[in-house]
Structure 1
Amino acid sequence: MDTTTCTVCQQPLWQDELGHQACGACVRRLDQLLRELAGPGGLYAQLATVLHPGTTGGGARVSGSRTAPLPIRLEPLSLASRGGVVTILQTWLVDFHEYLGWQHPRWEGGLQGQLDQAVSRLRILLPWAAENHEAFRELFAEVRDVVGACKAQVSGEPPARRVTVVCTLCDATMRITLDTPGRRCKCGTQYGWTELRQLPLAERAVA
């Protein structure tokens, strides 16, 4: 296992980060993503404002359907309900506690309170996880995807557009978005955030 590069963005680690799972920049990015979810004005709280049909993206209503719309929108409901965002974060926190040999975390209050609690504790443990937890990359990806899904429901904006780029060494293709922090090609070549965006598009490579 390479202990000199960040598992998230594939950039070289600083001297004092060698052996860690993630660099300081990716820890700060993940911390910011978690903060976007929490609090009374956070993305999770805003899901409650777009549960009814016609409230996505500032209230634009879809017309022309011959059938009556559902009284509630399933996409934001699935994110806001148990099993959605809150459960995903709690599962990671339980995993951290088990890894450290700590007692199972205890949840308090409603779902909003539980989310805020999970976010707060995860943020405290991020430096430890970046140094020790082998699934830090998966944690980063899952939180990033959850935040993206919440933003799509709250703002009505479509998910980030995916493009296909070509590895310059083996000609294999990789699907990325503007949010992709780094990627390892199947040939083993590691690309960081900047390097990925300098690769040729598959369409251009064929032309």
Structure 2
Amino acid sequence: MNDIPTCIRCAYDLRDDETGRQLCGRCEDRAAQQLAAIPGPRGLYAQLAHHLQRGGSSGGPTVSGSKAAPAPLRLDILNLQTAGGPVLGPLEGWVRVWEEAGHAELNEAGTLQQRVDHACRTLRYNLRWFAEQGPAPDEFARELEAIHRTLTGVTGGQKPPRRITVTCPCEQPLRITLNVQALTCPKCRTEYGHSEVLRLPLANGRAAA
């Protein structure tokens, strides 16, 4: 039985300098990168505006004087831009959680872009505290990853890789994408190549490939 403390998110063993933490440094860095990619005038949230028109590709401004009917807007992207949508809603929800613990301050003033910017800056600034002792770190990292994946899927012009859960012979669930190149099981340390990991059984018992 492994008595070495592990990251609550990725289940990898914590290094000596990570003792007492909930999230390992790698998971903290990933969350910091995701929080840095969302805000700002060139961030993922702002880029949604370039993908509003259904069928549009340039993302540029509408040419004045055009006699053509405007393209219909994509309701899924409009939903991503709303105050209670799947981007700003969860981000400000976590700011509220951290505010209750005395490590953040919610600011609902300003435009939606300004609120997104404030939430991301606040969460990123206090990320080290959260990795060490914040509430529900696994849930936070999972929700943040889902937000980032949704935004990159839209702004990148393609759907994100399909994710599946396979099971190592040691019974450790492994969350992978179909284009995974290699993987090491955090529990038994077995190393898998691309074809090997895709041959592992799915968590629900079906064949993975």
TM-score range (shorter-chain normalised) is 0.7 to 0.9
- Check 1:123–1:174 CA distance in 2 against 1; reply closer, same or farther (3 A cut): closer
Computed over aligned residues only, the root mean square deviation of the Cα atoms, in angstroms, reads 3.5
Amino acid in the other structure paired with 2:45: Y
**1-structure distance, mates of 2:74, 2:208:** 42
Paired positions, count: 187
Amino acid in the other structure paired with 1:91: G
- Check 1:124–1:206 CA distance in 2 against 1; reply closer, same or farther (3 A cut): closer
Which position in structure 2 is the counterpart of 1:7? 8
> Structure 1 residues 46-55 or 103-112, which shifts more?
103-112
**1-structure distance, mates of 2:32, 2:130:** 12
Which sections of structure 2, spanning at least 5 residues, go unmatched?
60-69
Amino acid in the other structure paired with 1:202: P
More helix by share: 1
Q: Is the 8 A contact 1:163 1:201 kept in 2?
A: no
**2-structure distance, mates of 1:53, 1:157:** 14
- Check 1:42–1:190 CA distance in 2 against 1; reply closer, same or farther (3 A cut): same
Which sections of structure 1, spanning at least 5 residues, go unmatched?
60-68
Identity of aligned residues (%): 37
**How far off is 1:169 after superposition?**
2.6
**How far off is 1:17 after superposition?**
1.7
Secondary structure in structure 1 of the residue aligned to 2:8 = coil
- Check 1:135–1:78 CA distance in 2 against 1; reply closer, same or farther (3 A cut): same
Q: Is the 8 A contact 1:8 1:140 kept in 2?
A: yes
**How far off is 1:104 after superposition?**
5.5
Which position in structure 1 is the counterpart of 2:201? 202
**2-structure distance, mates of 1:95, 1:71:** 38
Q: Is the 8 A contact 1:3 1:18 kept in 2?
A: no
Provide the TM-score with structure 2 as the length reference. 0.75
Secondary structure in structure 2 of the residue aligned to 1:119 = helix
Which position in structure 2 is the counterpart of 1:54? 55
Amino acid in the other structure paired with 2:127: L
- Check 1:17–1:178 CA distance in 2 against 1; reply closer, same or farther (3 A cut): farther
Q: Does 1:110 find its partner at 2:111?
A: yes
Q: Is the 8 A contact 1:52 1:73 kept in 2?
A: yes
The correspondence of residues 169-184 of structure 1 with structure 2, limited to 5 A, is 169-170=170-171, 176-177=176-177
**How far off is 1:150 after superposition?**
1.0
